[in-house]
Amino acid sequence: MNLLLALAFIALSVGVYLLMSMLYKRYRLPVLLPALTATFTVVVLLLGLHISYETYMIGGEWINRLLGPAVVSLAYPLYKQRHVLWNNLPAVLGGTFTGLLVGMFSGLLLALWFGFSKIYVLSVLPKSITTAVAIQISGNLGGDASLTSVFVMIAGFTGAIGGPYIIKLFRIRGEAGIGIGLGTASHALGTAKALEYGEQAVSMSSVAMTVSAIVGSIVGPVAAWMLYH
């Protein structure tokens, strides 16, 4: 029974994503980003059919396990564009550090300004880091992993949807700059969006996402310690 449920939910998720991808390819509106519209559609279907999250995850967990290999696969375009990385290393690291710090501390300051409790502050702190790492940091700091996942998704969707408008507004042409911005601000979703701008953009985005995870795993605990010790 569990096997049938798993296959059904995997088919549902993949099918909805493919349909949303076709819709996105036709209209090319940032708000129709497949990851966003597919997620929304699946949630609506689950609510409408009164299917619990635990039941859905019988199949959903297998899709979730592909997140790691998907991230690792980004090493290939990075390898092909390694000369661009070395030639622009100061700009890449500088842009990533700046974007990460702004992303982390803007969320932190807003949470403190609105008077959020400690658990919410610690949960929002790692929002500028890719999900797998952010959840680990949040748990170690005493935050709530589920809340952190939501904050990371909000950051990812916001950057992936709003990023193209910002790129157009400021007339950013270089693929490296586009990739660094999207990868730092929107993690895996930003990297997926960077694919539309070229191989160099997605390779720089994967670098930015990786560097953000490494630096954020150091900065996050230090910031939490300074706040609550």
pLDDT band at 199 (very low <50, low <70, confident <90, very high): confident
Contacts for 64 with CB less than 8 Å, ≥ 6 apart: 57
For residues 229 and 227, what is the distance between their CA atoms, to the nearest angstrom? 6
Centroid of chain to Cα 34: 14
| Ordered DSSP codes for 182-203 | HHHHHHHHHHHHHGGG-HHHHH
Contacts for 38 with CB less than 8 Å, ≥ 6 apart: 13, 16, 17, 19, 20
The pTM assigned to this predicted structure is: 0.82
Query: By C-alpha distance, which of 131, 103, 145 is closest to 189?
Result: 131
Residue 71 has pLDDT above 70, yes or no: no
For residues 218 and 137, what is the distance between their CA atoms, to the nearest angstrom? 9
pLDDT digits (tens, 9 = 90+) for 156-191: 999 989 999 999 999 988 898 999 999 999 988 898
